[in-house]
Amino acid sequence: MRLPPDYVAAIKEAAREAFGASAVVRLFGSRVHDDLRGGDIDLHVEADPLDDEWRARGVFEDLLFRQIPPQKVDVIVTQRGKAPRGFERIAYRDGLAL
Q: What is the pLDDT at residue 37?
A: 79
CA 42 – CA 12 distance, rounded (Å):
14
Distance CA 82, CA 43 (A): 18
Q: Which CATH class is domain 5-97?
A: alpha beta
Higher pLDDT, 35 or 79: 79
The pLDDT of residue 36 is 78
In this model, does residue 23 exceed pLDDT 80?
yes
* Domains in the chain: boundaries: 5-97
pTM summary value: 0.92
| Mean pLDDT of the 14-43 span | 92
Phi, psi (deg, nearest 5) at residue 94: -110, -10
pLDDT above 90 for 33: no
DSSP strand pairing (41-47 vs 73-79): parallel
